Chain A
Amino acid sequence: MAANNNILKIGLAQIDGRLGDVEHNAGRHLEWIARAREAGVDLLVFPELSLTGYRLLHLTPRVALPLGSPVLTRLAEAAGPMRVVLGFVEEGERGVLHNSAVLLAGGGPVHVHRKLYLPTYGIFQEDRFFGAGRRLETLPLPWGTAGLLICEDLWHPELARRLTVAGTKLLIVVSAAPGRIGPGAMPESQESWEALTRSTALLNTCWVLYCNRVGWEEGSFYPGASHIVRPGGEIADRAPLLEEHLLVAEIDLRDSDRLRWRLPLLDDERFDIKGPEDSEGPSA
């Protein structure tokens, strides 16, 4: 761990996966965990549903794991002192399946985020196979308060706002976002994502880590291009398109505070403003 307790080395593991094969994917996680530990990473982030693959459809129940699964314990133990965020299908207490991201630390799971917004339009069918999460919580990390969102969650900006109002300086976004290309230099899908990650960082004056996967599933590709956004909205570093890659960078969470002293957007935030939803107009 770095000397200053606000500075940490993060790693974004932009990997491919084998759809529906947890054993194989867990083995690949072990390889990338070893690689990240060798690079001195403090916090390693894998993409959405990294243990299972994304487009599971009717395979979803077959690959679900409870939070106490030995698969997660094995990965947590391999991580040693490093923190790891990874994605999996969680079998919840009532048998409901969730698209979840878990933080592993000290040999086991310490925090789980269940995806709150399940896209069910276009090629997406998540609401058919998953139950939506019901809780938004901050994530305790030794370097400061963080937040964890999954893909579509970022398209509903009140979540990032609520997390940052609660003290989040580092927002981790894990994704399995398919690519679309057009005339531009970057995939069109990537332009949208970077507009979101950059404006989220700027409006909330926090760091944003965005980890997307690579590879193909059922004719649909994932472009990768995982990236790190500074609290001011600039992209600090970006992984390549289409290739597996470990993006490693050192970040200082105090940069978020430093910007907030100059740009007190969160401090100015008002929750007492009456809005159109408060008036007694015609309701939808």
Chain B
Amino acid sequence: MIRREQVRARLRLNAPLAEAVLTSFIRDAVETSGTAGVVVGLSGGVDSSLSAALAARALGPERVHGFLLPYRTSSPESERDARAVAGHLGIPHRAIEISPMVDAYFALEPDAGADRRGNKMARERMTILFDQAKKLDALVLGTSNKTEILLGYSTIFGDNASSLNPLGDLYKCQIWELSRHLGLPPEVIDKAPSADLWPGQTDEGELGFSYELADEVLYLLFDLGLRPEEVAERGYEERVVQRIVALEQRFRFKRRLMLIARLSGSAVNLDQEIPRD
């Protein structure tokens, strides 16, 4: 029987091996598609930085095109960190501000709240990335991790849209571990994860639990197949377990066909074809 204190160790990853597998995934996908490289939106956060870093190692930095896509209320630290990562990786990058396009639409919908505006920003970024991919003969590189995918914590056809996603079978703690292995700047790895859709937003604040906790609970539920009550019996707060189970069920509709690099025996949509209702 697995005890709570053993879960963290089970989630450890052989980082050099994961790097070798995921760089081969990116190379294979680009070669098979016959395209010249990838485009990736850089938010200054750890997920997009890791995706870009893997692609730079897989293809060479010159074939990885980074795009900074700030809105006027985006945090200046996000842009600073994104530039630092692009510089660190030596990849060509460009900033395109999305405020004019987003504001033009909401001039017609002035009553829209923060959530609708945030979703629109995520989808605006996606349309720009796909357009730049067309222009540059490239694939759009995804940045969604397994924790987000299982919790449905993303904008459908926004940040969860991509042509290939090397991170989709990695829990958030594995993202951090692999990022440290690849030598990403510590300020990018250590800062509080945020979608930066409105000032002061953090993922963990919005979700109501930490990623560390979510990873462990999801691992027990999906990788090991425990029932929610069996997870709670191991010392996890019942309220948190129930919330995680509820999010996973509520947002199943957001999971769409996407090319996930399968690393475990529990890859979403591959090992686990879960019905939507």
Contact = CB atoms under 8 A, between A and B. Distances in A.
Interface of A: 122-123, 178-185, 187-189, 215-216, 218-221, 223, 241-242
B14 A221 contact: no
Interface in B11-45: 12-14, 17-18, 20-21, 24-25, 28-29
Nearest to B273: A123
B57 to A, nearest CB: 14
Given A188-B265, A219-B262, 4 more contacts: A182-B13, A183-B9, A185-B17, A221-B21
B145 to A, nearest CB: 15
A242 B21 contact: yes
Nearest to A220: B262
B170 to A, nearest CB: 10
- Most chain B CB within a 10 A radius of its CB, from A123, A179, A181, A218: A181
Nearest to B22: A221
Contact of A182 (B14, B24, B270): B14
Contacts of B277: none
Interface string B136-159: 000000000000000000000000
A221 B13 contact: no
Given A182-B14, A182-B264, A123 B271 contact: yes
B264 A216 contact: no
B14 A184 contact: yes
Interface of B: 9-10, 12-14, 17-18, 20-21, 24-25, 28-29, 259-265, 267, 270-271
Nearest to B26: A216
A179 B14 contact: no
16 contacts: A123-B262, A181-B14, A181-B18, A181-B263, A181-B264, A182-B12, A182-B13, A182-B14, A183-B14, A188-B265, A189-B265, A219-B262, A219-B267, A221-B25, A221-B262, A223-B21
A220 B25 CA distance: 9
Contact of B24 (A123, A184, A185, A221): A221
A178 B270 CA distance: 12
A45 B29 CA distance: 27
**Which label, helix, strand, loop or mixed, suits the secondary structure of the A interface?**
loop
- Most chain B CB within a 10 A radius of its CB, from A187, A188, A216: A216
Contacts of A185: 14, 17
A183 B270 contact: no
A216 B271 contact: no
Contacts of B21: 179, 181, 221, 223, 242
A242 B19 CA distance: 12
B139 to A, nearest CB: 14
Contact of A122 (B13, B17, B18, B265): B265
A129 B264 CA distance: 25
B265 A242 contact: no
Given A123-B270, A215-B28, A216-B28, A180 B20 contact: no
Given A216-B25, A219-B270, A242-B20, A180 B262 contact: yes
Contacts of A179: 21, 263
Contacts of B262: 123, 178, 180, 219-221
A215 B156 CA distance: 30
A241 B271 contact: no
A123 B263 CA distance: 13
A218 B262 CA distance: 9
A78 B67 CA distance: 51
- Most chain B CB within a 10 A radius of its CB, from A218, A219, A241: A219
A216 B12 contact: no
Nearest to A217: B28
A216 B270 contact: no
Closest 10 CB pairs of A and B: A183-B12, A216-B28, A220-B262, A219-B259, A122-B271, A123-B270, A219-B260, A180-B265, A181-B263, A180-B264
A216 B9 contact: no
Contacts of A221: 21, 24-25, 261-262
A67 B3 CA distance: 54
B261 A218 contact: no
Contacts of B17: 181, 185, 187, 241
B13 A216 contact: no
A180 to B, nearest CB: 5
- Most chain A CB within a 10 A radius of its CB, from B10, B24, B260: B24
B137 to A, nearest CB: 21
Contacts of B261: 219, 221
B24 A218 contact: no
B13 A183 contact: yes
Given A187-B17, A220-B270, A180 B24 contact: no
A189 B24 CA distance: 18
A125 to B, nearest CB: 10
